[in-house]
Structure 1
Amino acid sequence: MSEQSVRRPTQKSRLARYLIPIGSMAAALSLIAIIYLGYDLAKGRISPCEAVFQESSIGLKTKISFLKTEGELEIGREQLAELTERAQMTALNLKTCCTVLDAGRVDPEQFLQCKGSARSYEARLDDIAALVRTAVKEGMSTGSVATTAATAAPTPPAHVEEQIAQEVEAAKAVSRDFNKQVVQVRKEQALETLQATPPQNVTIGAQEREPNSDLLTTNGLSLDTWVTAAIGDGKDSDYFVFTTPKTYRDRIRVELQNRSTTLEPRLRLYDASKASLGDRYNTTTGADLSYDFVAAPDTTYIVRASNYYGESAGVYLLRVTPTKAYDAYEPNDDILTAKPIELGSDLAAGIMDGHDQDHYRVETGDAEAQLLVTLTNSSTSLRPQIRLFDASKASLGEQHNTTGGGDSSYLFKAAPNTAYYIQVRDYYGDAAGTYTLTVNEAQPGG
């Protein structure tokens, strides 16, 4: 075999070694071109704000990837992790800004400021990358001998490390400022939206009227009236506004009767200032639901009907009913509305909830006497307190029993022809219950 025939396969194999990487590189470049072409085509089909987000996110990820690969030693793992998180936050903040400002149509100037802040963060990452390259280059040139001997990574000069640290802090500051800017933009646009959307409370009869899907577009409910309504999809909510009766503090019941086999009902209550007061729910599909609460007279409330998991839909009936749970001596919630009672008579009354108080006014006869106020508990929950006031409404003292269901009494020396006020309440202010109250002259030696 000749020497030339031996060399020929060797030359082919060498040529193949060069061609294979070139072919792989060409295939990779083709794949990248296809991906970006597909992205450009998709960009026209997705929302403008989503396109802005993806473009910003891809650019920032590319820069972060370089820093992770080349700059972990110079930047530090913790600082690098924070730069990564702030890059993601920057892309999301830009998308939020775009969405709030309706892709720049609402306020183009503010939108340009948001884009400028995002570019500033991207520029800071470029500056950090340039310093990392310098650190690697200078570290290689100045530390090559030392690293050969110690088999350690090259150490960049101190001044470059200091510059990197300063640029990292500057990038974080840009990100924080951008975040505050977006929060302010959202607040301003929310206020403008509220100004542009006046409340609309529509009085309804037998059926709800859309829109009533937020606290500004409610349906006005008449008390003791069933209305038909529906949760149209998982995200739907219905808001209803009602006012309690004018005279009495009462227990109000909101009732939801399910007219479907799918709805998992939920009720949330709001006060007139739109602050949430609590909610009730039933996770059984097709179940009914009620929400009882004690309400002040002539007070406005809002109730929201929805589904619990945000997925179900269905038709339902809704009614708000005053239960008339007050006793015959209401209203007597303060000393100015105290009800007169006769000596020797028994009265049956009740404390409706922990905030309830009952007040009575008793007048003495012509002679001085020892009077005994007796409270007989007819519940197992009320911890009664009796407080006495004179005619000028000054407190004279009190007696109480901290046992739930316990009785209480108060003995005092009464002046002739004088009015006294008696207050009854739960001692701790968080329980309710019924009772019987009597004011008698105490028997001598009793």
Structure 2
Amino acid sequence: MRRVLLAVLTIVAVATGGVVAIDAQTTADRFEPNDDIETATEIDAGTHGNLSIHTDDDTDHYAVDVKPGTPINVSVVFDHSASDIDASLYGPDEQQVDAAISVTDNETLTATADDGGTYYVEVRSYLVGTAPYSLDVRTGTAGTSEASADADRFEGNDRVENATSIERGEYANLSIDGTDVDYYAVEASESDDLNVSLAFGHDAADVDLTLYGPNESVVAESDSVTDNETVNYTVESSGTHYVRVDTYGGGAARYEMTVGPIDQSGNPLPVGALPVLFAALIAFGLARRLR
């Protein structure tokens, strides 16, 4: 079987699905030396933490074997303030099949392995700098659900910079497949309650949910192995928060998303409505007892 090389150049950060906490580190990591394809580190799908671009000219390479028709999703999680990390994915013939060169935290690569074998991911620093990062590689057989045939109305939202702006409410007829990632942007103020829930059938796909704060760091996540996912978060910093929906291990599914809190009619509750309501009920109860 030909091999897929995942090369992480000077600074790489991986993130798709699960996110690993990153400790400051500029020393060579356990996979060195892996500075070129010939010395690429063979890894399995999963999350690999405590990695680093430890010198200005460091380049990290990783190799992962996949079967024909398998979706590949690679995430690099890092702090862009430390270094501008870029990433590329190469096929068994060492030709580039995807690239991620944003100017924000984290990079994501996605592709489908038309030919089985070893694929190569290359992650590098565009400029000088050293930084710690974590790498997440997910592979799986694409599902046959009809959801994979129809992109939903929000598509084009596969990266955080293209996130669809939404408000609190209910959103039906959404879809995702093994190579898709959906991002949504919602505004929230400090001390707000921000609740996000996904309704889907786990037999179609293992859909996961992650919530990021204004600095694009993970603040809440839900990655069970059952139907539906939910996160509940009390906002610590005002600004744009990002909802990420993806699948673990491939598959395709339709889902419904609720961003709350909302009332029984699906309308957003005013900020502070719940505390005021509870206070009113308590006051009413006390008044009755004092009568």
Q: TM-score, normalised by structure 1?
A: 0.26
Greater fraction strand: 2
Q: TM-score, normalised by structure 2?
A: 0.38
